[in-house]
Amino acid sequence: MIEAVGLTKRYGDKTAVYNLSFQVRPGAVTGFLGPNGSGKSTTMRMILGLDNPTAGQVTIGGYPYPKLPNAPRQVGALLDAKAVHGGRSARSHLLCLAQLSGIPARRVDEVLGVVGLQEVARKRSKGFSLGMGQRLGIAAALLGDPQVLLFDEPVNGLDPEGILWVRNLMKALAAEGRTVFVSSHLMSEMALTADHLIVIGRGQLLADMSVTDFISANSADFARVRTPDTEPQLREKLTSALTEAGGHVLPEQDGALRITGLPLPRISDIAHDADVRLWELSPHQASLEEAYMRMTQGAVDYRSTIDQKSGLMQPLPPGAQPPMPVPGQGQPDWYAPPSPQEGGQPFAMPQGQPGPYGAGQPPAGPYGAPGAGQPNPYAQPAPAAPQAPAAPPAPPAPAAPADLTKPEDAR
């Protein structure tokens, strides 16, 4: 059990982590998510006693890390796969760690077997690929057969087989009753591996809830309805009928309608009553990735922009069409489609419902749950890029609705 209370870390006047409180319980894989620079690694270093918190504290099994009796036998960590002296062989590296915590040398060969590095055990780790380095780091974390495991980006650089292995390893470790705390940027991986999520942005807690709760709280499930293309008046008719019934209708670029606020059978009934034939009526649920993007959108520090190559471009010959931008590139709100409604109700966090671990205070702050009646700051379609490109000859990308065709493919 890892427990952080009011954890704060400042470097000079930059606050890396601010007032972070959470619990990581045993027997489950807890995912630790956040954009680059949101304070994930700093938090992990503080858990391991490498960095001293400016305020607050974090304990493992009730003790601060440095006070744990034989800490490496209770906590294993993969912080950085490159935190290894490259001139030392894999086996010597693990051996010196084993000796430091009084683990029999036999165990070194065991973990080398577990991670599949026996054949290169006597090679210097300088020549290891990123994936082999990760395996060595995982071996070091498993060395003490600890009860609490921390992994920072464990699947970085692993091959598909290695990713599958890590996924099963995490689950197996948690099933044995251990505490497993994993940070990752691979949402698809997290959706498969983690049971519980802790999401931070700019050093503050954004969410602490189970994966399913997280997805349903942070994404807009919607129904897509398509009326016959040949009869546009049917579409108008259905739109007004659905709006009358309390649904929110948003036209998509290709003529389909995106509907929220009404269950599928009800939409079918309304269409039937309005005498409108349907070509498509399908449910769409957002992926973890989409839900994550929506939640952390306001907390992203390092955002990519379009590579404009301004001043480097040849003047276009007269009459030539500038190339269309590739959809998605440099469009920060690509993953987060504009809300189908203004109220933001589907994005609200579950109110008044205590979290499964008791620490379920709804995350506060600018990124937290919008209060009732308060519009969700992310519900409005964001304007294009923050720094509007002045130079590009390209026509403005097809406006917001064009983006709507994409998100559900991201699953």
Partner 1 sequence: MSTPQPPMPQAAAPDWQAAASGSPYPSYTSPIPVVRTHLGHAISSEWTKIRSVRSTVWTLGVFLLLVVGIGLLVAALVAANQGEESLSGQNPLSFGVFGLLLGSMCIITLGVLTTASEYGTGMIRTTMTACPSRARVLAAKAIVFFAVAFTVTFASVLLVAVADVAMLKGARSPSGGEWLKGTFGISLYIALLGLLSLLVGSIIRHSAGAITIMIGLVLAPLVIALFMFSSALEKVRQALFDYSIPNQLSAFYTNTLSRTGPTGWDPVWIALGVTAVAFAGAVALLQKRDV
Interface ranges with partner 1 (CB under 8 A): 1, 25-27, 45, 48-52, 65-66, 68-73, 75, 77, 79-80, 82-89, 92-93, 95-97, 99-104, 107, 110, 114-117, 135, 140, 142, 144-147, 161-162, 164-165, 168-169, 172-173, 176-178
Q: Cβ of residue 102: shortest distance to partner 1, in angstroms?
A: 4
Q: Cβ of residue 204: shortest distance to partner 1, in angstroms?
A: 21
Of the pair 32, 222, the CB lying nearest partner 1 is at 32
Of the pair 71, 404, the CB lying nearest partner 1 is at 71
Q: Cβ of residue 183: shortest distance to partner 1, in angstroms?
A: 15
Of the pair 5, 281, the CB lying nearest partner 1 is at 5
Of the pair 34, 72, the CB lying nearest partner 1 is at 72
Instruction: For residues 126 and 89, give the distance between their C-alpha atoms in angstroms, rounded to a whole number.
Output: 8
Q: Cβ of residue 399: shortest distance to partner 1, in angstroms?
A: 46
Of the pair 319, 358, the CB lying nearest partner 1 is at 358
Q: Cβ of residue 206: shortest distance to partner 1, in angstroms?
A: 25
Q: Cβ of residue 3: shortest distance to partner 1, in angstroms?
A: 12
Of the pair 114, 300, the CB lying nearest partner 1 is at 114
